[in-house]
Chain A
Amino acid sequence: MTQALVNVPAKAKRGEVIEIKTLISHPMETGYRHDTNGAPIPRDIIHTFVARYNGEEVFRADLHPAIAANPFITFFTLASESGVIELTWTPDHGEPVTQKANITVE
């Protein structure tokens, strides 16, 4: 199973710039390697990562095979209101993985 870890502060002051740290387990198979029989191993990477804050897209990353296995991404966003930060990773194969975190803004 693909596992995602996210670190979003539970509480923030209105207007504060908060850091969001994310990590997901994924091999990020480049498509440039070969197995023991010499057959190419097909590419399987997470190609898109999107962060939404109460439904509004606040950060997006287009990823390529040069991103290390188990992609680790950190970015910043403005704590505007209480709600949900939703993070979605989309792989080449299989279903997108979504992780949600609640934030309380005072």
Chain B
Amino acid sequence: MLGNDSEKATRRHFLAVAGGVALAPLLLRSARATPDTMGAAIREVVGEAPVREGKIALELPPLVENGNAVPMTVTVESPMTAAEYVKRIHVFNEKNPQPVIATFHLGPRAGKAKVSTRVRLADSQKVVAIAELSDGSFWSASADMIVTLAACLEESP
């Protein structure tokens, strides 16, 4: 019985994946990253390493009217010494056409692990920032955003 269930689940999963693949070309214009593709993009960066929550803060406004330029600041708690520093900060999203937003490369010379920029968000979604430290550990923070006017995926006038 148990085996049967899991087999069903596998088949259902397979059908869902197959359906998604078959539909993909039809939906190409509205193709978007999904939580799954974001997860895959994150795995590509961190590999098998565990990602823990903490040490990193991701500041984004919880509600934005215009997704075309959303201010974002990422800060990582780190002494930024030669022995212990932030190597990289990766930023991902769930629903833009691509799951990656940016990668920032730092070093002990940065003095302070804090970076600000402005991002585009195509929809209300979750943004995830991951800090890669010099000891090889990964730390994450996320922010859920509501975007009332999405960044332009629509046709230009």
Q: Which residues of A come within 8 Å of B, CB atoms?
A: 17-18, 30, 32-36, 38, 41, 53, 56, 58-69, 71-78, 80
Chain B residue numbers with a CB within 8 Å of A67 are 101-102, 117-120
Is B97 a contact of A72 with CB atoms below 8 Å?
no
- Asked if B69 is an interface residue, CB under 8 A from chain A, the answer is yes
Cβ contacts under 8 Å, B11 to chain A: none
Q: How many A-B residue pairs have CB under 8 A?
A: 106
Q: B104–A69 contact, CB under 8 A?
A: no
Q: Hey, which chain A residues are within 8 Å of B140, CB to CB? A: none
Select which of A65, A69, A74 is within 8 A of B116 by beta carbon: A74
Interface residues on chain B, size class: 35 or more
User: B115 at interface (Cβ–Cβ under 8 A)?
Assistant: yes
Selected from B93, B97, B103, B119, the residue in CB contact (under 8 A) with A32 is B97
- CA A38 to CA B155, docked complex, whole Å: 8
Query: CB < 8 Å: which of B104, B111, B153 contacts A17?
Result: B111
Q: Which residue in chain B gives the minimum CB-CB distance to A28?
A: B120
Contacts of A35 in B (CB 8 A): 155-156
B119 contacts across to A, CB distance below 8 A: 66-68
Cβ A74 vs Cβ B153 within 8 A: no
Contact pick for B102, options A59, A66, A69, A76, CB 8 Å: A66
A69-B110 contact given A60-B104, A64-B98, A64-B102, CB 8 Å threshold: no
Residue of A nearest to B113 (CB): A76
- For window 63-90 of B, CB contacts with A under 8 Å fall at 68-70
Contact status of A75 and B118, CB under 8 A, knowing A32-B153, A66-B98, A67-B101: no
Q: By the criterion CB–CB under 8 Å, are B102 and A30 in contact?
A: no
